Amino acid sequence: GQSLEQPSEVTAVEGAIVQINCTYQTSGFYGLSWYQQHDGGAPTFLSYNALDGLEETGRFSSFLSRSDSYGYLLLQELQMKDSASYFCAAASGGSYIPTFGRGTSLIVHP
Amino acid sequence: SQTIHQWPATLVQPVGSPLSLECTVEGTSNPNLYWYRQAAGRGLQLLFYSVGIGQISSEVPQNLSASRPQDRQFILSSKKLLLSDSGFYLCAWSVNRVSGNTIYFGEGSWLTVV
């Protein structure tokens, strides 16, 4: 089967940098995606890493290491509005259906 | 550009009543379609997925069913709701190819069974 592990909660202060880790166990891995979900809202797609390395989109960056079965989402210059749940997801083994991690609740303090 | 809409946004239903949630996708053809459920503060549970009209796969046995009467329409139904069916229901779509695992979610539907 497929499984993804991520911390349940991370806290940080406004303006800081935070990293949310995700480790996965899959076969025939394709890539790792990240989603953001604010309370009461639907998840929105943030980024996708198919290859090793860092992908940067504004204040958010995502990293993948296939050899380590590991990735992370990096959020810089944290803002209060970044308080949300963040999910990593991976598809593998010939299936187009991604498996989601349980989500990390990010709490940003002033 | 592609858009996805689902409705109703919120509903309160008595136990034993029927349910119908609808979802439509615009701006793409032959998408993969999904129904997820999310309990309060929990992760995403895949309920059903579809790769084409009339093709439905169920991930979790329960009193819910799904149908895809048209290419870009996905419906979640129940004949008799249970209290445990309460939750946040999300319709989603993705490109229909093996490596296209980026999923785009609708706005979600909050269901409270009383």
How is residue A58 written in tokens? 């504004």
Look over chain B and give the mean of its residue pLDDT values, rounded to a whole number: 91
Residue type present at position A90: A
Residue A27 pLDDT level (bands cut at 50, 70, 90): confident
Q: How confident is the model at residue B100 (pLDDT cuts 50, 70, 90)?
A: low
A89 near A96, Cβ under 8 Å?
Answer: no
The amino acid present at B106, given as its one-letter code, is G
Provide the percentage of residues in chain A whose pLDDT is more than 70.
Answer: 95
B105 contacts A96? CB cut-off 8 A: no
Beta carbons of B4 and B90 less than 8 angstroms apart: no
Sign of CA dihedral B61, B64, B70, B72: negative
B101 falls in which pLDDT band (50, 70, 90)? low
Q: Does the beta carbon of A34 lie under 8 angstroms from any beta carbon of chain B?
A: no
Query: Which three-class secondary structure state does DSSP give residue B16?
Result: coil
Set of chain A residues whose Cβ sits within 8 Å of the Cβ of B102: 33, 45, 48
Who has greater pLDDT, A71 or B100? A71
Whether omega for the bond prior to residue B8 falls within 30 degrees of 0, making it cis, is yes
Residues of chain A contacting B96 with CB distance shorter than 8 Å: 96
Residue of A27, A44, A46, A96 to mutate, testing the B interface (most B Cβ within 10 Å of its Cβ): A96
- Per residue in B9-56, pLDDT (tens digit) is 999 999 999 999 999 999 998 999 999 999 876 789 889 999 899 999
Q: What is the pLDDT of residue A29?
A: 79
